[in-house]
Amino acid sequence: MSASDSHLALFPHGLSAGSKLLIYLLLSIAIIAADTEFHALNRFRSAMNVLLYPMQTFIQTPWLTYNRVTSFFVKQAQLQRENSALRQSFIQYSAAMQRYRNLELENQRLRILLGMQQRTRLSTRLAEILFVPHDPYQRLITVNRGSRQGIQAGAAVIDEAGLLGQITQVSPFSSEVTLLTSKDQSVPVLLQRTGLRTVIFGTGISGQLEIRYLPHSADIRIGDLLVTSGLDGVYPAGLAVAKVVQIDPGGSDAFANILCKPLAAVERNRQVLIVTGTPSAVTGKH
């Protein structure tokens, strides 16, 4: 190593670190002042933003993608929960509305039934249907009134439309009602339009009764109303029973085939009236 190089190594020339720091500090202050007063660095910042934007976008893309995917699945799960809650609320609301409508209809029928009880001179007792057999050929129902409530076998059972059937078996707290449509049931009736007396029989078929042994010459028409005549001493006179719906001359037979539809219907009722007294007539309209 030469003498001059050794001298430079031992005694370096140039600015000291403190001088450099002072120069950089003064330069920074000058640049800040110039930018504040004259916005000298706006173009530089714009250019740098343009140059750095692709890099920033590239760096942020995975994070933004992750946020979007996560947000999508979170929103989907939230929407599914809200949808399930709304569906459950809708089902509950629909069920409540159905119960409300059923109760409203039942209350209307009950008011009609109680109104009929007040309009007539019959002594009756309100009863509720407990059981209806699933067998369509078993024309029986069970009500929640029995011997402890003064119910006796043979009593007529009615609804707001007319005669439903007859008490055939009584236990202490319930009774069995045989419906008019049962095959072993027959009721003496009166054709309200003409006063013609005849007998109506059950067919064992729901919603169907028939008149037998009536000659072709009898004055009977479709739509005629049949009411109890009271001649059997079992059913009070004047109770609506059925309407004539079909008249078949029967060809060479001696009697016409006449089908009737009962006015009372167990399918639309939960409450009925049991006739506990037997006056001679029933007032009111049928």
Reported as a single tens digit per residue, the pLDDT across 60-89 is: 778 778 777 777 777 888 888 888 777 777
Average of pLDDT values for 164-173?
93
Per the document, the length of the chain is 286
Confidence of residue 285 (pLDDT cuts 50, 70, 90): very low
What pLDDT does residue 159 have?
A: 86
Helix (H/G/I), strand (E/B), else coil: 178: strand
163-170 vs 156-158, strand pairing mode: antiparallel
Does residue 246 have a pLDDT over 90? yes
pTM: 0.59
CA dihedral in degrees (79, 84, 86, 87; nearest 10)? 140
Q: What is the mean pLDDT of residues 148-157?
A: 92
Is the pLDDT confidence value at 256 over 80? yes
pLDDT of 105 over the 70 cut: no
Question: pLDDT of 115-133, one tens digit each?
Answer: 666 566 678 888 988 988 7
What whole-number distance in Å separates Cα of residue 232 and Cα of residue 236?
9
pLDDT at 153 over 80: yes
DSSP per-residue string spanning 22-41 = HHHHHHHHHHHHHHHHH-TT
Mean pLDDT (the chain, rounded): 79
User: Domain 124-275 falls in which CATH fold?
Assistant: Thrombin, subunit H (2.40.10)
Per-residue pLDDT at 20: 74
CA 50, CA 40: separation in Å to the nearest integer?
17
Does the pLDDT of residue 12 top 80, yes or no? no
* Predicted local confidence at residue 1, as pLDDT: 52
Average pLDDT over residues 93-109: 67
Using pLDDT thresholds of 50, 70 and 90, give the confidence band for residue 184. confident
Split at pLDDT 50, 70, 90, the class of 155 is very high
* Statement: residue 223 has pLDDT above 50: yes
Answer whether residue 196 shows pLDDT above 80: yes
Question: How does residue 186 score in pLDDT terms, banded at 50, 70 and 90?
Answer: very high
Confidence of residue 257 (pLDDT cuts 50, 70, 90): confident
Predicted pLDDT at 27: 74
